[in-house]
Amino acid sequence: MKNINFESLSLEELLDIRDYTNSVLKKRIGKEKRDIEKTLARLSSLDEGGVRRGRRPGVRKGQKLPPKFRNPETGETWAGRGARPRWLQAMLKKGRKIEEFSVAGMSAARGRKKRSKRAAR
């Protein structure tokens, strides 16, 4: 771009330069807005398409899980999520180990085999 001496230009030439500059700026601003809108649309489609931020995929809030631990005295169960139940905390304070309350450990201790899904049908 060559150097322009704006002082020597007439008022009409300066107004023409201003109008031209405004039209170039409007085009560039429009292009930038479209680019931003495309990016936002792409990002929002990712959110709607199943990709969620802050959660592990496959884990749903409120989903019931099979119990992992059972109180042998009362039959209460705990799936291993959230705070430990009071009965389990009390047993652990007495010196017992958490593995003693495992549902899988109880069935193995009693000599039972877990039935497969196919056998249950």
**8-49: per-residue pLDDT in tens?**
999 999 999 999 999 999 999 999 999 999 888 888 777 665
- Kindly report whether the global pTM for this prediction surpasses the value 0.85: no
Q: What is the model's pLDDT at position 116?
A: 54
The region of weakest confidence among 30-39, 49-58, 94-103 is 49-58
CA distance 108 to 2: 89
> What is the arithmetic mean of pLDDT over 71-96?
91
Answer for the pair 67, 77: CB distance below 8 angstroms, yes or no: yes
pLDDT at 83 over 60: yes
CA distance 50 to 44: 11
- How many H-runs (helices) and E-runs (strands) does the chain carry? 4, 2
CA dihedral sign, ordered 72, 73, 75, 77: negative
